[in-house]
A and B are shown apart, each in its own frame.
Chain A
Amino acid sequence: MHTANLLPLVLVIAVVAYMLAFMRSRTVAEPFGGIRNLKALPFYYAARAALWCAIPALILLGAWTAFEGKVIQNVVVSSLPADVAPKSEGEASLVLSQISNVAAGKLDPNFVPKPVVGAADLLENLRDRSSNFKTMLVILIAVLGGGFAWSRVQPHINARENVERTLRWIFFICAGVAILTTVGIVFSVIFETVRFFGKVPITEFLFGTTWSPQTALRADQVGSEGAFGVIPLFTGTLLISFIALVVSVPVGLMSAVYLSEYASKRGRAILKPLLEMLAGVPTVVYGFFAALTVAPFISDLADIIGLEASAQSALAAGLVMGVMIIPFVSSLSDDVINAVPQTLRDGSLALGATQSETMKNVIFPAALPGIMGGILLAASRAIGETMIVVMAAGLAANLTANPLSSVTTVTVQIVTLLTGDQEFDSAKTLSAFALGMMLFIVTLALNIVALKIVRKYREQYD
């Protein structure tokens, strides 16, 4: 039976085990005078039966599915006679794809050597047997597990504790998944980064002021000297993020203050979702808004006051990005401001402080950690944002602090490096991973610094 069908089947068996154990626990409890004389409620006996039924079966199913393909392949390949047996890894994958194509009927058996046809038969045969065997074993284990738990529905056994412990492990594993994913991503980036630093010295990467990621395709190519100085990219990123934060932090904070302290209940119920809608607009829409409306407007405006502005500018991208991240600041800040106890407000108001004095002196310091969290989220959003920058700020890696000129950011460069045809081991492609690594380190450092600051200045109210 196919895995996709086996999975619901196991769940059905678990449900059946649940119901049987539930009924049995009631029956068992009868002579003792009702379920209150059991060590645990019927629900726990039933839940334990379901867990016993499902977990071992699912683990087996998972393991089988994971290893089945590899084992069968090895058996098939080793069955080939010496003259067609593959000599290298590359050959092996060629032969294997031949075999499986024949087995799937995509390849005419007449075009391939005889042993391959035989191997294809073997492959199909093995797959069938494996599938049947897996089905039987999984069902058997599910039934056995359920049966075992069912037989252990006894008044003196504390099923509640078993269930609690199992649940704790399940929660732990779920929490671990996120961490493992992060670790995995970091490691995969690290390996490529190390390879990149094998080609380009790390000092050049960190301190170079020119970014021109070209590598020669041929040894005699002219004008293909690459430059991998990362400084212009980070300057661009920081410039745009800074502009975005300058827009979003004051506006977001003040709208949060208005929402939580001044607006009526009704007003808040209407305004807050409206504000949060800003975060729901696709960034590509913001992108063309920035490129087609804001950037030309800024360039016209700069012309009028006699400044020179390029058609694509950091200012345009930053302003629009700032508007985009307003809800990150306002929504989170509003929540934490609301969470500050009313008694603190009353205390301040009763001393004759005005609403804004109360806000500034009491609410704000108490809500600081949450507000900082909102700002950090907004900042990482700004640093990671790509689409708006591509469209509104351009691709030119200028090292400048002038918001009216065209700049580019780390994320934009990663995108341009990895899209399009490129050999995968050239310095040009690998530099994308190094950039990603740098970005990761920088945002991590920002987070740590911000946490330190918050811990220093927070006024803890509970």
Chain B
Amino acid sequence: MNTMNTTATRDVAVEEQEQKTQPVEDPRPEQAELEEGKTVGVPYVDDPKFRLRDVEVFYGESRAIKKISLDIAKNEVIAFIGPSGCGKSTFLRCLNRMNDSIDICSVKGSLELDGDDIYNSKRDVVELRARVGMVFQKPNPFPKSIYDNVAYGPRIHGLANRKSDLDEIVENSLRKAGLWDEVKDRLDATATGMSGGQQQRLCIARAIAVSPEVVLMDEPCSALDPIATAKVEELIAELSESYTIVIVTHSMQQAARVSHRTAYFHLGHLVEVNDTNKVFTSPEHEMTESYITGRFG
């Protein structure tokens, strides 16, 4: 569905484009020189959840993220889009220090969550990740029962003293993830036996079971079929009432549907951040325009 839709929108967008700037000679325009650390649009907000300044990420010698500055507001859904390898996932994984497990990866710059430095050497990663949860590209439920999957986080963090408390957390999380009615009779069944879409919603339930403030989603629908994708997108819209959500996606439709703001990444630069409507109707930067109209990426 994603691809199909992408092509469809692309065609429409290209037509509009052609009407505006007749004639189009080269389908691949000269890529503008990107200036380091320069982002058009509205990258900064008041009282942000995340305050990120001059963030650089290195994989060994190579620089994957080049001086990106961005604020992420409370309770907003922000989508990261951009061609493959542009650094959006890398950037996302900085927000809960998931890059730590990669030996050669190092992060520079200032990254703050509610005013506290994320990469401070004294920072407790466990506490950080309890506040900033994550959902991955491929559904990765543990090979345990559905119940144990959701209860995993609360158990680790000691969130429930009694079995009944834990039951309640599990039920609430599954309800929020829209999965309760489907699985309430088989909580002891193994999670790997569920369908892909159910698995991904279980992973979301698992992430919100520890009551995080932020949920990071790394292409959460790329391994799902259209119906499962629609369900997850619905879920994201509901979750945005109580959580800050950062979502990386390859589907521009998805970004348009679920997010409030959209950030366009290109080769490690953050090119443009704007209201989602504005990005998809009248982008400020020519590269954003080229990308969303399908000229490259």
A contacts, CB < 8 Å to B: 264-265, 341, 343-354, 357, 361-362, 365-366, 459-462
Contacts and interface: CB of A to CB of B under 8 A. Distances in A.
B294 interface: no
A365 B152 CA distance: 14
A351 B103 contact: no
A459 B140 contact: no
A81 to B, nearest CB: 81
B244 to A, nearest CB: 16
Contact of A341 (B96, B140, B210): B140
Q: Which 9 A-B pairs have the closest CB atoms?
A: A459-B143, A352-B129, A350-B134, A343-B140, A352-B130, A351-B153, A347-B140, A461-B143, A352-B126
B207 A352 contact: no
Interface string B141-178: 11110000000110011000000000000000000000
A361 B154 CA distance: 13
B138 interface: yes
Nearest to A354: B126
Nearest to A462: B192
Give the interface centre of A265, A343, A352, A366 by most chain B CB atoms within 10 Å: A352
A461 B191 CA distance: 10
Interface string B120-142: 00000111111001101010111
A351 B101 contact: no
Contact of A352 (B138, B140, B142, B210): B210
B98 interface: yes
A350 B143 contact: no
A352 B143 contact: no
B201 interface: no
Interface in B179-236: 190, 192, 203, 206-207, 210
A264 B128 CA distance: 25
B210 A351 contact: yes
Contacts, number: 76
Given A346-B136, A347-B136, A350-B129, A459 B142 contact: yes
A352 B157 contact: yes
Contacts of B190: 459-460
A412 B153 CA distance: 52
5 contacts: A347-B136, A347-B203, A350-B136, A352-B128, A461-B143
A189 B76 CA distance: 76
Contacts of B103: 264-265
B207 A350 contact: yes
Given A365-B144, A461-B143, A346 B98 contact: yes
A455 to B, nearest CB: 14
A350 B144 contact: no
Contacts of A351: 129-130, 133, 152-153, 156, 206-207, 210
Interface residues of B, number: 29
Contacts of A343: 136, 138, 140
B98 A350 contact: yes
Contacts of A348: 142, 152
Contacts of A264: 103
A357 B140 CA distance: 17
Given A346-B136, A347-B203, A460-B192, A353 B156 contact: yes
A168 to B, nearest CB: 33
A209 B129 CA distance: 61
Contacts of A366: 142-143
B149 to A, nearest CB: 9
Contacts of A349: 98, 101, 129
A459 B98 contact: no
B126 A345 contact: no
A350 B138 contact: no
Given A348-B152, A354-B126, A459 B144 contact: yes
A347 B152 CA distance: 10
Contacts of B96: 350
A352 B156 contact: yes
Nearest to B125: A352
Give the interface centre of B128, B133, B143, B190 by most chain A CB atoms within 10 Å: B143
B142 A362 contact: yes
Contact of A344 (B140, B153, B156, B210): B140
A459 B203 CA distance: 17
A370 to B, nearest CB: 14
A461 B126 CA distance: 25
A345 B207 contact: no
A347 B142 contact: yes
